[in-house]
Structure 1
Amino acid sequence: MRFKIVILLFTFSILKIFATGQEPDKIIINNKEYDLLNNPLEKYFQNHPEYHPIYGPKLSEFQKYRNGERMLSFSTSNSRDYIATFTIEKNILSVVDIKIQDLNSENEDYISVYKQLFGDQKIVLDYSGILVIPTGDLIETANFGYSYLFTQYKLMTINKDNVVKEKELNKDEFMKFRFTQFREYKKSEDYKIELKNYLKNWEAEKKSELSPENIKKMSKKEMAQLKKEYAQPPTEDHIDGYFFVSQNPDFIIVDY
């Protein structure tokens, strides 16, 4: 119970502090389009980087980004630099469109590049995970990742692109699912890697913040406050709260 209370308190506090909320991918089910609070193409692009619309070689206008340089997006609300649209047909998950922002647009318009990337070939995503699809009303507006709260959700468990389970959940049932999934995520190697990187980044931030160059113009009171903030590394509760709202462990498949 303490775990849930700490996570909830941290979640609702961090939502007020951090930015920016992300533009979701889309999914079409029974001819109706929904927001999708997962990004199934991210793993696909990790395994097939040649098809990435920005960092791959397919689109010549983005050649300068092939060395890994970060694209300066029109909006920080889309850190992926694309919006994908998926469908569920005959219980199979498929991608049917990929849009990116038009570099020549002054209105942040999106244009489809699916044909340029894939032509007429059928894409096998080989995705396994739990899709989160909000179907109810928005309760809490967030400015961090996909940490929005809705009255109703549809969850779909996918195994290698095949739907093996789906269920409608209310808000309370969804939060129970999230806690269960997060507990399992903490047991994974991915969590250990993220934790190691988080602490490494914290140490680097501490070194920078407490550097002579940074504190030379501070008052004694300001320096004392800053040193107090970095006196101890983040607690497990703090880190778990941050990961709970920032990570999307859709690959952790649990019952719901």
Structure 2
Amino acid sequence: MVVQAFYPAQTTVSVDRKVARNPLLHIASNVRRNIKIKNTKDNMKTFLTIILTSFLGLTAFSTAQISDKIIYKGKTYKLHCNPLESYFNKNPDKRPKSEIMSTALWRGYVATFKIKNKQLFLKDIKVMVSGKNSYKKWKSVIKEVFPNQKEIKIDWFTGLLVLPYGKRINYVHMGYGSTYENYILIELDNGNFNKEKKFDYNKYEEFKEKQFQAFKKTDEYNKIKKEIQKETDSDEFIDTFLKDFVINYTTKILTDE
């Protein structure tokens, strides 16, 4: 396999590829084992950055990632989450093999989804392969991953799909950290469409704050916070972490305001 760096090399921290039931806690624990960080404000911010880049992918990476795609209401959007990852974590032998592993694509593939009849379906999976004169091209491997299946419903996915669109407001060279002018948020339950919400950037940030405040009232918040406190006793850090990435670990829209 060729590892292709499409961006300048960055320092990364290795974490276990296996995702636990609560990946947020799993990553925090693994990162703590790999690095020594004191509870200063700057170092906690560094810790936060490493955890979040880990949380958004299969391994810790510091390169902006090529996103999956989704066709929704006739338009194609970037998808700032990866619905196939939970399937591949449970079925690692099914994960497609790529001839080229890019630092901008640690998961190794790009999936295209479509919402049809209020259900989430997989349309294609592509990997990078070598062509003539070192030219790189995309190859479909969906039939290798899901042979003899005409329609593949993603019925294992329950959570929120994040569809950014419009002008990119701020580029962040890691994960899906860049921010955009507009967002569509779609709530799914076992692959079935529940609801959508649309935001501009400012409204999206306001929504995340309200989502976090609603999440703080749940038992799950107390459970996660108690576990993270084993890694750090900084309540400010814990709440900053949970608030900034509330969309990634909540599975429902908790506020309609």
1:125 aligns with 2:154: yes
Which of 113, 127, 142 lines up with 2:141 in the alignment?
113
For 1:102, the aligned partner's letter is V
1:79 aligns with 2:106: yes
1:146 aligns with 2:176: yes
Question: Structure 1 residues 52 and 242 mapped into 2: Cα distance closer, same or farther (>3 Å)?
Answer: same
Counterpart Cα distance in 1 of 2:185 and 2:159: 10
For 2:107, the aligned partner's letter is R
Shift of 1:114: 0.4
- 1:235-246 to structure 2, matched below 5 A, reads 235-238=234-237, 240-241=239-240
Gaps of 5+ in 1: 1-5, 55-60, 63-72, 200-232
Which of 24, 34, 39 lines up with 2:77 in the alignment?
34
1:92 aligns with 2:119: yes
TM-score, normalisation: structure 1? 0.63
Task: Give the equivalent residue in structure 2 for 1:187.
Answer: 221
Question: Which of 1 and 2 has higher RCO (CA within 8 Å, sep 6+)?
Answer: 1
Name the SS for the 1:137 alignment partner. Answer: strand
Question: Structure 1 residues 40 and 153 mapped into 2: Cα distance closer, same or farther (>3 Å)?
Answer: same
Shift of 1:26: 0.2
Shift of 1:166: 1.0
Question: Structure 1 residues 234 and 131 mapped into 2: Cα distance closer, same or farther (>3 Å)?
Answer: same
Counterpart Cα distance in 1 of 2:75 and 2:107: 24
The question of whether the paired residues in 1 share the 8 Å contact of 2:208 and 2:247 is answered with: no
Gaps of 5+ in 2: 1-40, 51-60
Counterpart Cα distance in 2 of 1:187 and 1:175: 20
TM-score, normalisation: structure 2? 0.63
Which of 197, 204, 208 lines up with 1:174 in the alignment?
204
- 1:178-217 to structure 2, matched below 5 A, reads 178-182=208-212, 184=215, 187=221, 195=228, 199=231
Aligned length: 195
Give the % identical residues.
Answer: 30
- Over residues 45-92 of structure 1, what are the superposed CA-to-partner deviations in whole Å (9 max), with x where a residue is unaligned? 2233332213xxxxxx88xxxxxxxxxx53211121111100011111
Counterpart Cα distance in 2 of 1:137 and 1:29: 19
Work out which of the two has the higher radius of gyration on C-alpha atoms and give 1 or 2: 1
Name the SS for the 2:143 alignment partner. Answer: helix
- Over residues 109-167 of structure 1, what are the superposed CA-to-partner deviations in whole Å (9 max), with x where a residue is unaligned? 32110011112313332211111101221111111211121111111111111111012
The question of whether the paired residues in 1 share the 8 Å contact of 2:208 and 2:246 is answered with: no
Counterpart Cα distance in 2 of 1:38 and 1:191: 23
Question: Structure 1 residues 239 and 21 mapped into 2: Cα distance closer, same or farther (>3 Å)?
Answer: farther
For 1:123, the aligned partner's letter is I
